[in-house]
Chain A
Amino acid sequence: MASHEFRTDRVEVAFTVNGKPVGLAVDPRATLLDTLRDELGLTGTKKGCDHGQCGACTVHVNGRRVNSCLSFAATHEGAAIDTIEGLGTPDNLHPMQRAFVELDGYQCGYCTPGQIMSAVALLAEPCGESDAEVAECMSGNVCRCGAYQNIVAAIQSVRKENAT
């Protein structure tokens, strides 16, 4: 048990999520992942391992992909946070979402929001263009159904689309 007194002081934090300003008083223990899901109702971001090993919780903070499970919400004062909900809608899919559907880049779908958030970020990163290099840059996103081959194919198809 904790050897020190119980503290419940909440911390004020303001950031944007998918472009919309959000102001919250959070428990300092609350991760960005839990805050998105439980406080803001954005359940597209998934909790897998909750230890930064699986990538299901991947979101963008100031344009960079991070594991939202290893990040306290209180540390994101002033940040711009983007989640899968901000990427596209069922009627207006982001090109990466469309590529995952068309090329069968998933089976059960649980890891897919994290895969897609990583994939979108990857195309703006200094990642090589070969399949092997793409796989390396995607190693922080685990897919236990094993859809890796089609995930790489989806990313490569969007890269080609962007190049034309």
Chain B
Amino acid sequence: MNSFTFTRARTIADALRSARGDVKFLAGGTTLVDLMKLDVERPAGIIDLNALPLAEVRRTPDGGLHIGALARNSDVAHHPDVVRDYPLLSQALLSGASVQLRNMASTGGNLLQRTRCVYFRDAAMACNKRSPGSGCAAIGGFNRNLAILGTSAHCIATNPSDQNVALTALEATVHVTGSNGERSVPIGDFYLLPGQTPERETILEPGDLVTSVTLPPPAPGAGSTYVKLRDRASFEFALASAAVVVTIKGGVMQRARVAMGGIATKPWRNLDVEAALEGQPATRERFADAAQILLSDAKPQSRNGFKVELAKRCLVHALSVATAVT
């Protein structure tokens, strides 16, 4: 690991003031420390955020939920308000990593979790995300776990998070503070497609600090679920996952929110998929129609063609569970 300076931030202002040059904010460390050991991340300075008062989970005045950026994944997953009103977020969090990692990992850190692409994690390999311009060894390489949606000729890395898929279906807002003041960004606008700049994964600018995530009030009477398909039954990243929130009235889907994980370069939401569900009867045929639309632009790589059918079945199953259709 390269050497670095270590700064304990005591206040948010402290953290922002220290965030100059080639520095990284450190929260739970489950991604950053891992990648520093691999020499994938080589910051000149680390700013420890763990003493900041950003771990609170509380209701917002509008009936939504505020989740502090330092709220740990375990605490969010088991928070009674999350379990009752946003169960798919709890399910998504509990489907990820291990108990130890969830006890460490923070909400803000999980938002910024890096890809598990093996070429990104190996400093000896070509990777445009890690080393812009070096190429992409994953295209034509071992890409079984990588993306079929949102890819470019420069990067096919998957966003590995479960949390972020649920937050996308829940239409979360990410709150950021930085040198240009505070701003709030809908999660749908937070992540960037790789395009020609896969090293840029979010709209965050250098020195920006994620302070919290908020959720809108829960949709009354909605059914929801998070379905995750993977190679192992536990402690494994998704090959495909689906977070869905559906409101039904008289057998007809009034409102549908759908986000997919494990198949795309960012938490994936396609408004055409939701439009294809809304106003339709909750049947497996209509779910399959929506799944067809979801995958219509899929671009399988050399070893992940199976994900097209897997993702379709994942979505159909999730919609069946959320709407109690057998």
Measuring CB to CB, which residues of chain A are less than 8 angstroms from any residue of chain B? 2-4, 6-9, 11, 27-29, 31, 50-52, 55, 58, 64-67, 70-72, 74-75, 77, 118, 121-122, 125-127, 135-137, 139-141
Q: Is B48 engaged at the interface, CB distance under 8 Å to the other chain?
A: yes
Task: Given A28-B6, A70-B30, A139-B234, answer yes or no on A2-B101 (Cβ-Cβ < 8 Å).
Answer: no
* B99 interface neighbour in A3, A8, A31, A118, Cβ under 8 Å: A118
Q: Which residues of A contact B147 (CB under 8 A)?
A: none
Contact call B3/A29, Cβ cutoff below 8 A: yes
CA distance A38 to B78 in the complex (A): 36
Contact call A140/B3, Cβ cutoff below 8 A: no
Q: Is B306 engaged at the interface, CB distance under 8 Å to the other chain?
A: no
**Lowest 5 CB-CB distances: which A-B pairs, in order?**
A140-B98, A28-B6, A139-B234, A2-B2, A139-B235
Q: Is B46 engaged at the interface, CB distance under 8 Å to the other chain?
A: yes
Q: Is B299 engaged at the interface, CB distance under 8 Å to the other chain?
A: no
Contact call B6/A58, Cβ cutoff below 8 A: no
- The interface residues of chain A, by DSSP majority, are classed as loop
A104–chain B nearest beta-carbon distance, Å: 23
Report the nearest B residue to A62, measured CB to CB: B103
Task: Given A2-B2, A2-B3, A28-B5, answer yes or no on A72-B103 (Cβ-Cβ < 8 Å).
Answer: no
* B34 interface neighbour in A11, A52, A139, Cβ under 8 Å: A52
* B101 interface neighbour in A3, A136, A137, A140, Cβ under 8 Å: A140
Contact call A140/B48, Cβ cutoff below 8 A: no
A86–chain B nearest beta-carbon distance, Å: 18
Q: Which residues of A contact B97 (CB under 8 A)?
A: 140
Contact call B100/A126, Cβ cutoff below 8 A: no
Contact call A11/B234, Cβ cutoff below 8 A: no
Given A8-B3, A55-B98, A127-B99, 7 extra CB contacts under 8 A? A2-B3, A2-B42, A66-B100, A66-B104, A72-B48, A74-B8, A125-B99
Q: Which residues of B contact A67 (CB under 8 A)?
A: 30, 100-101, 104
B135–chain A nearest beta-carbon distance, Å: 21
Q: Which residues of B contact A137 (CB under 8 A)?
A: 99
CA distance A54 to B209 in the complex (A): 31
B-side interface size class: 20 to 34
B290–chain A nearest beta-carbon distance, Å: 31
Q: Which residues of A contact B235 (CB under 8 A)?
A: 139-140
Task: Given A2-B2, A7-B5, A52-B100, answer yes or no on A72-B78 (Cβ-Cβ < 8 Å).
Answer: no
Q: Which residues of A contact B6 (CB under 8 A)?
A: 9, 11, 28, 72, 74
A60–chain B nearest beta-carbon distance, Å: 10
Task: Given A11-B6, A70-B29, answer yes or no on A58-B34 (Cβ-Cβ < 8 Å).
Answer: no
* A70 interface neighbour in B22, B51, B104, B233, Cβ under 8 Å: B104
* A75 interface neighbour in B48, B78, B99, Cβ under 8 Å: B48
- From B1, B5, B33, name the one whose CB has the most chain A CB atoms within 10 angstroms: B33
* A72 interface neighbour in B5, B29, B101, Cβ under 8 Å: B29
* B46 interface neighbour in A28, A58, A127, Cβ under 8 Å: A28
CA distance A31 to B74 in the complex (A): 22
Q: Can you pick out 17 interface pairs between chain A and chain B where the beta carbons lie within 8 Å of each other?
A: A2-B42, A28-B3, A28-B5, A29-B1, A29-B3, A31-B33, A52-B34, A65-B100, A70-B29, A70-B30, A71-B29, A72-B26, A75-B29, A139-B98, A139-B234, A140-B99, A140-B235
Report the nearest A residue to B234, measured CB to CB: A139
Report the nearest B residue to A79, measured CB to CB: B50
* B4 interface neighbour in A7, A55, A58, Cβ under 8 Å: A7
Q: Is B249 engaged at the interface, CB distance under 8 Å to the other chain?
A: no
Q: Is B37 engaged at the interface, CB distance under 8 Å to the other chain?
A: yes
Contact call A65/B103, Cβ cutoff below 8 A: yes
Bits for B1-41, please: 1 = Cβ < 8 Å to A, else 0: 11111101000000000000010001001100110010000
Q: Is B324 engaged at the interface, CB distance under 8 Å to the other chain?
A: no
Contact call B99/A70, Cβ cutoff below 8 A: no
B14–chain A nearest beta-carbon distance, Å: 14
CA distance A65 to B51 in the complex (A): 19
Q: Which residues of A contact B4 (CB under 8 A)?
A: 7, 28-29
Q: Which residues of A contact B8 (CB under 8 A)?
A: 74, 77
